């Protein structure tokens, strides 16, 4: 492994200044679960690693009680999200996803920001944040800008981040009443496995607890980047949701997907899992809503 210098800025501005000074020879590092592996295996050979660990506000998890907005710092670990009662109770789709990432050791150090920026099609952390209409705050040499989490990804391992930009935090808007959300990672085994498919569903119902004004169906490992099944979502909006409607939405989502054959699984099998689990996650959302009313 090539030797490198380790820098520890305490502000985003200082981190960007370090990167500007050392240009292409520098790399930001969060929890290090991806970067260190790449350095050890020679896929990446930085002269400088710029740690984001000491930038305090990037590790904050906070819900604004006045506005209902949730703020997740990019350096918040998967374990922090997994253990948070607020996340478990109010954002179950996030809890479902992060509790299935890697091992306990990985979750203790791996960060939600790193999971997004690594931009793999199988990133569990991306699906719930897309379903919740999350916004990513990016900070670079030219200042800050916000983009929807769903628009972060260009291709496998590639995001829209400009040189020296940092993902600072993700914000989630207040959730409407009568909303349920759920995520499932389907793989060949339960632990330490990349998903064959990842499926997140979010449903909001009107006061009649039947009609759906808002739906999100988000898929991982179904395209080169995490995707929303817009046709399936639009099919659900305005309808009274029951199992048969969810089965049809699953068929539409499966047809929308861009799944392919790989050494880990066949496209037809992934399509079948989308069909099955859109229904199951949708029913789980309905049960959540009814249990809370």
Tokens found for residue 254: 């499966």
In tens, the pLDDT along 178-229 reads: 999 999 998 765 555 566 899 999 999 999 999 999 999 999 999 999 999 9
Contact in structure between 36 and 2 (CB atoms under 8 Å): no
Ordered structural domains, the chain, with CATH: 5-51 (3.30.43.10), 57-172 (3.30.465.10), 179-291 (3.30.390.50)
At 88, is the secondary structure helix, strand, or coil?
helix
Identify the bridge partners of residue 204 per DSSP, sorted by sequence position: 179, 214
Each of the 293 residues of the chain gets a pLDDT tens digit; together they read: 778 899 999 999 999 999 999 877 899 999 888 888 888 888 888 899 999 999 989 999 999 999 999 999 999 999 999 999 999 999 999 999 999 888 888 899 999 999 999 998 888 999 999 999 999 999 999 999 999 999 999 999 999 999 999 999 999 999 999 999 999 998 765 555 566 899 999 999 999 999 999 999 999 999 999 999 999 999 999 999 999 999 999 999 999 999 988 777 789 999 999 999 999 999 999 999 999 98
Beta strand 70-73 with 166-172 is antiparallel
Contact in structure between 187 and 194 (CB atoms under 8 Å): yes
> Is 0.75 topped by the overall pTM?
yes
At 101, is the secondary structure helix, strand, or coil?
coil
CA–CA separation, 275 and 278 (whole Å): 6
Identify the bridge partners of residue 26 per DSSP, sorted by sequence position: 48
Please count the helices (runs of H) and the strands (runs of E) in the chain. 11, 14
Provide the CB-side half-sphere exposure for 264 (13 A, CA). Answer: 15
Buried/exposed code over 169-180 (b: 16+ C-beta within 10 A; e: otherwise): bbbbeebeebbb
């Amino acid at each position: 492994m090539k030797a490198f210098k380790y820098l520890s800025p305490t502000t985003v501005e200082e981190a960007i200044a370090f990167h500007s000074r050392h240009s292409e020879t520098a790399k930001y590092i969060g929890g290090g679960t991806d970067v260190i592996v790449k350095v050890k295996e020679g896929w990446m050979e930085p002269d400088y690693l710029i740690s984001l660990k000491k930038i305090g506000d990037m590790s904050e998890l906070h819900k604004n009680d006045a506005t209902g907005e949730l703020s997740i710092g990019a350096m918040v670990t998967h374990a922090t999200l997994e253990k948070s009662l607020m996340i478990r109770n109010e954002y179950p789709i996030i809890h479902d996803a992060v509790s299935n990432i890697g091992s306990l050791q990985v979750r203790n150090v791996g960060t939600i920001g790193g999971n997004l920026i690594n931009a793999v099609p199988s990133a569990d952390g991306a699906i719930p944040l897309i379903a919740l209409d999350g916004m990513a705050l990016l900070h670079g040499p030219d200042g800050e800008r916000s983009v929807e989490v769903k628009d972060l990804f260009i291709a496998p391992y590639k995001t829209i981040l400009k040189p020296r930009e940092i993902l600072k935090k993700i914000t989630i808007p207040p959730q409407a009443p009568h909303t349920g959300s759920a995520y499932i990672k389907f793989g060949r085994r339960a632990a330490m496995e990349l998903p064959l498919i990842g499926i997140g569903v979010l449903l909001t119902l009107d006061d009649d607890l039947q009609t759906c004004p808002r739906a999100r169906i988000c898929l991982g490992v179904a395209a080169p980047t995490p995707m929303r099944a817009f046709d399936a979502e639009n099919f659900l909006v305005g309808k009274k949701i029951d199992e048969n409607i969810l089965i049809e939405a699953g068929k539409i989502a499966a047809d929308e997907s861009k799944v392919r054959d790989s050494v880990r699984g066949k496209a037809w099998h992934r399509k079948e899992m989308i069909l099955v689990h859109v229904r199951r996650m949708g029913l789980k959302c309905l049960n959540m809503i009814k249990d809370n009313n």
